[in-house]
Amino acid sequence: MEDIQIFERSLKDFEYFNDFQCFLNLKKNARVRATHVKKRHPRFNPLTDLNEHKFRLKYRYTKENLRRIIEIVRDDLEIEYFEPLKREQVPIDLQILSAIRLWGGTEHPKLTAMAHGVSLRTLAKITRRVASVLSSKASRYIRMPATLSEKERSGSAFQAIANMPQVIGALLQTTVRFQTENCATDLDREELFPNREELHIQIVCDAAHKIRDLDIRLIEEHSMLTDTEMFGLSKIKDRFEQNEFRGRILLGNEMVRCSSSLFTPVRFPRNQSEELYNHAHAVTYASARKCLNLLMSRFGILGAEIQGSHGSAKQTITALAILHNMAMEWADPSIDTEQNISPFNSTFFNSTGRSTKSGEDNNRRQFIKTHFAS
């Protein structure tokens, strides 16, 4: 009987010990969880955490205008919300802000990623997605004047500059470098031999420095085409040949050949009429160089190197052209829009320096005789 009582006490002691062990384990697990749970801080929000001056320096727009951009892009970006981005819980607003700050090129990409609490790899995914959504709106924000009233307004704005009639756009070409993805898979590691390529960009702008037409082509390694040949491949040339703009003309620099729709400076003026024409051409054409200068000043990445494939680089350039047009439309003051562009410095933005002989065009001679004769 006594042995049975001893055995029962032992069982109770064992139960007490077991309960005590469970209690210790619970305390231990609580301490482990406490060490792993980080205190959550509010995520950095540049729209509220930066003053207006610092915000403009970093994001190249006023706060008001960037909020407008966010509202334009938000819905489309939410529809195609990436699964990896969902896991990292990057808010839509912050995705757009981080992409635009990266494109501004005011700092190293690592600093941009750190400022927004994301990795470089995530930042690359964000910028590609934002560029894709923005570029899908190209037909709305990048278009030539279509109606008669739009064409007349565009012509009047150009004529007001230096009394050059019938102009509907100014054409300029340049190049942008990009690094293909197969050599840029790890953004944290610099490759010794990166595969860098170039895109040829042709823009047509209006007198208000907005981009009206954009043509982007890969420069093939073994086919060094001249700017004239690049123009010949563009859709805008076909549209002029089909008489869509009815007697109106484009202005180009000396790197392209003069034609019935594209007027260039007279290389060797022989009389006062041609000199007057050249002066009016130079002053009017300065709007194209100022347009490109403003675009590249706002988005420093265009003067450096775009990371990604050929397709994503084209989407990025298109997105930047759209953002540029928005800035021009809203008169955004974040960069110096009153830059002094000399109308007679016509070689600064030439893409390759490959000159071609200027065609002696009867249309241009008749145009000079009609509008610039003494």
For residues 142 and 261, give the distance between their C-alpha atoms in angstroms, rounded to a whole number.
20
In sequence order, what DSSP letters do the residues of 68-120 get, joined into one string? HHHHHHHHHHHHT--HHHHHHT--HHHHHHHHHHHHHTSS-HHHHHHHTT--H
Considering the chain, what percentage of its residues have pLDDT values greater than 90?
64
Q: What is the mean pLDDT of residues 151-172?
A: 96
In sequence order, what DSSP letters do the residues of 40-78 get, joined into one string? P-PPP-HHHHS-HHHHHHHHSS-HHHHHHHHHHHHHHHH
Q: What is the mean pLDDT of residues 254-283?
A: 94
The larger pLDDT score, comparing residue 180 to residue 3, is at 180
Handedness of CA 279, 284, 287, 288 (dihedral sign): negative
Q: Which of 178-192, 240-254, 288-302, 311-325 has the lowest mean pLDDT?
A: 178-192
Look at residue 364 and give its three-state secondary structure: helix
Q: Is the pLDDT of residue 350 over 80?
A: no
Q: Is the pLDDT of residue 183 over 60?
A: no
Tokens (6 digits) for 325: 């047009």
Q: Which of 230-239, 303-312, 325-334, 352-361 has the lowest mean pLDDT?
A: 352-361
Look at residue 199 and give its three-state secondary structure: strand
Q: What is residue 308's predicted lDDT score, i.e. its pLDDT? A: 87
Q: What are phi and psi of 168, to 5 degrees?
A: -115, -10
Look at residue 230 and give its three-state secondary structure: helix
Q: Is the pLDDT of residue 179 over 80?
A: yes
Q: Is the pLDDT of residue 186 over 60?
A: no
Q: Which long-range contacts (CB under 8 A, 24 or more apart) does 23-29 make?
A: none
Position 193 confidence tier, pLDDT thresholds 50, 70, 90: very low
Global confidence as pTM: 0.81
Handedness of CA 272, 273, 277, 283 (dihedral sign): positive
- Cβ neighbours of 3 (radius 10 Å): 7
Considering the chain, what percentage of its residues have pLDDT values greater than 70?
75
Q: Which of 2-16, 47-61, 166-180, 204-218 has the lowest mean pLDDT?
A: 2-16
Q: What is residue 105's predicted lDDT score, i.e. its pLDDT? A: 92
CA distances from residue 317 to 99, 206, 214 in whole angstroms, order as listed: 13, 18, 9
Q: Which of 41-45, 93-97, 111-115 has the lowest mean pLDDT?
A: 41-45
Q: Are 245 and 148 in contact (CB under 8 A)?
A: no
Q: Are 67 and 92 in contact (CB under 8 A)?
A: no
Mean pLDDT of the chain: 83
